[in-house]
Amino acid sequence: MAGKVFFSVTMSLDGFMAPESVPPEDAFSPEKQDDPDVRRWMSKWAELQAWAFPQRWFRENLKLGEGGEEGIDNDIARATYERTGASIMGKRMFDLGEPTWPEEAPFHTPVFVVTHEKRDPWERPGGTTFHFVNDGIESALTQAREAAGDRDVRIAGGGETIQEYLDTGLVDEFSVTLAPVLFGTGIRLFDRVDPARLALDQTRSEASSRVTHLTYTVGKR
């Protein structure tokens, strides 16, 4: 039996899942770290994701050291990882991650990158192999489903890729972690989604002292 297609993101209280974008080649370039736009992007991103950094599972998965917090946030982060049999991401997310992920990339599953770039699969230690898909999101999903088996397929990001899967009716479920931050500007989660095409049912709501986790199933109107 095929698993679900889902995504999980952290979102600011005013609806942004990421700060205003900066060129991927600038975001983590040592020469650009004093650039005001890059510093602003890094500061906002760190603030948005601050709930995850102390979690025991997050620290273990990224090899940041032993220990860490346990509780609702840690359990949800771990469960998201354990249910995922394959991931899909857009080219921008890959470009941001490629120079910063550790050698043992944190996915530990096949990852399908939707891109126009032709490139051989990139195998990393620890079970992550990046496959580069040149014929669209549906092809990427077909390949990801096959790789995932009876586990779920996660649409990892970024925002444009998530919106495209949502708007074409290919997402079964999603989770939003609401962080107590305000961005004012940035990349909105639902900017390009046609609300007339989607029906949402809330299936779960859990809060910690840091964030609130909301889960919805997605249907068609």
Name the band, by pLDDT with cuts 50, 70 and 90, for residue 1. low
Domains of the chain by range and CATH?
A: 5-220 (3.40.430.10)
Angle at 133 between CA 27 and CA 153, to 5 degrees: 85
Contact 152, 84 (CB under 8 A): yes
DSSP state string for 9-31: EEEETTSEEEPSP--HHHHT-GG
Q: What is the C-alpha to C-alpha distance for residues 2 and 93, in angstroms, rounded to an integer? A: 26
For residues 103 and 125, the answer to whether their CB atoms sit within 8 Å is: yes
Above 70 in pLDDT, residue 122?
yes
**Predicted confidence (pLDDT) per residue in 125-146, tens digit:** 999 999 999 999 999 999 999 9
pLDDT value of residue 24: 72
Q: What is the pLDDT of residues 67-103, one digit of tens each?
A: 899 999 999 999 999 999 999 999 999 998 888 888 8
Note the pLDDT tens digit of each residue in 167-219: 999 999 999 999 999 999 999 998 888 888 889 999 999 999 999 999 999 99
Contact present, 216 and 201 (Cβ < 8 Å): yes
| 35 has pLDDT over 70 | yes
Whether the predicted model's global pTM rises above the 0.75 cut: yes
> Residue 131 has what pLDDT?
98
Q: What is the mean pLDDT of residues 43-70?
A: 90
Count, residues in the chain? 221
